[in-house]
């Protein structure tokens, strides 16, 4: 693990507003910078009452302006919702305002229900143009020539780093073929993680963007002073995820000891979806994160956690940062010992 990073969905808790959520995201980003997180990513979701990051590029600008050095980016932009030129202009503008700090992760899913997807796109093409759209977008961010009929201004020459995101094998194959870094959404869809990493690393073709494969995996984290407190705080995300799965999305619920509204079969699905996680007191979280890193050997880890109270969420990421610093130091020390042997 070279770096560890943070994914924020800018959750809107029950009793709060989108303005509260966006202010909390800026506060969290400042804390993440202080705690040594490498990146702070936000994700595109639409028509979801509990998430405030729909206008993702705008929120990235909000967060980048509130921080000084941490990389800020999209994890990700759902490219089928947008023209590649528009995305290039948005992120080219961000890179011009905040040089050397902007990342662009691209996803193939709509990030919404189909009715919302139709409202976003107006004219939905039946064919899958994601691979060609990715290459078109990268072209707009490259050097190009002044003679080109269409240029992204700002955007041309910014070379914003582009990542392929995925929760299946498709993204792994495409990232390998294009020679791009790959991020897997294992914080909510871990089923294909093992195979996706193997396919990506085995099929990777060096490119002008990347010499060797670079894979980042995502994990959920909910840390507190005790295992019991962490489990209680985690109930907010479990309840929110179960409601989303059963067609009842809403704001992030307050934590509860009573999850009886979730049918057993839905709870089993939720637990499986959120299984790539570290939940508990500091030592528990460190042990669970070590197990994740040992099993998957990622180049980078990005963590996420939906916690109702901003103070508890910040404390969770503080505990996680301490554990991840220690785990990274342990791995670096072990490598140094091996090299000297």
For residue range 214-234, list pLDDT tens digits in order. Answer: 999 999 999 999 999 999 999
Low-confidence residues of the chain, pLDDT below 70?
110-127, 336-341
Kindly report the pTM of this predicted structure.
0.93
What's residue 302's pLDDT?
98
Q: Determine which helix (DSSP H) or strand (DSSP E) holds 162, and give its type and residue range.
A: strand 162-166
Which runs of consecutive H residues, i.e. helices, occur in the chain? 18-35, 56-66, 84-97, 114-121, 130-141, 169-178, 193-203, 227-245, 264-273, 282-296, 310-340
Q: Quick one: CA dihedral 290, 295, 298, 302, positive or negative?
A: negative
pLDDT for 24 equals 97
What are the extents of the domains in the chain? 3-340
> Could you say which of 3.20.20.30, 3.40.1400.10, 3.30.70.260, 3.40.1000.10 is the CATH number of the domain covering 3-340?
3.20.20.30
Question: Residue 268's CB: how many other CB atoms inside 10 A?
Answer: 11
Measure the CA–CA gap between 137 and 182, rounded to whole angstroms: 17
pLDDT at 119: 66
The predicted-structure confidence for 148-164, as pLDDT tens digits, reads as follows 889 999 999 999 999 99
């Amino acid at each position: 693990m070279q770096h560890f990073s943070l994914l924020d969905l800018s959750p809107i808790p029950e009793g709060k507003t989108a303005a509260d959520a966006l202010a909390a995201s800026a506060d969290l980003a400042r804390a993440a910078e202080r705690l040594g997180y490498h990146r702070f990513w936000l994700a595109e979701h639409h028509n979801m009452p509990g998430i405030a990051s729909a206008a993702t590029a705008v929120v990235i600008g909000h967060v980048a302006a509130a921080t000084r050095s941490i990389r800020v980016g999209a994890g990700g932009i759902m490219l089928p919702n947008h023209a590649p030129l528009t995305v290039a202009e948005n992120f080219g503008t961000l890179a011009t305002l905040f040089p050397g700090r902007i990342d662009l992760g691209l996803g193939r899913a709509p990030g919404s229900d189909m009715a919302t997807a139709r409202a976003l796109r107006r004219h939905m093409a039946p064919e899958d143009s994601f691979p060609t759209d990715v290459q078109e977008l990268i072209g707009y961010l490259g050097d190009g020539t002044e003679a080109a009929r269409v240029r992204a201004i700002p955007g041309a020459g910014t070379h914003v780093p582009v990542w392929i995101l995925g929760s299946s094998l498709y993204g792994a194959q495409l990232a390998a073929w294009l020679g791009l870094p790959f991020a897997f959404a294992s914080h909510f869809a871990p089923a294909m993680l093992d195979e996706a990493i193997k396919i990506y690393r085995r099929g990777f073709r060096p490119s002008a963007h990347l010499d060797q494969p670079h894979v980042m995996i995502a994990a959920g984290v909910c840390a507190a002073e005790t295992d019991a407190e962490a489990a209680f705080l985690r109930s907010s995300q479990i309840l929110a995820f179960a409601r989303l799965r059963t067609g009842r999305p809403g704001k992030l619920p307050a934590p509860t000891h009573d999850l009886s509204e979730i049918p057993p079969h839905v709870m089993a699905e939720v637990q499986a979806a959120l299984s790539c996680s570290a939940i508990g007191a500091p030592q528990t979280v460190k042990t669970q994160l070590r197990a994740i890193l040992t099993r998957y050997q990622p180049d980078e880890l990005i963590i996420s956690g939906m916690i109702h109270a901003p103070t508890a969420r910040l404390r969770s990421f503080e505990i996680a940062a301490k554990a991840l610093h220690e785990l990274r130091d342990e791995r670096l020390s072990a490598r140094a010992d091996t090299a000297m042997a």
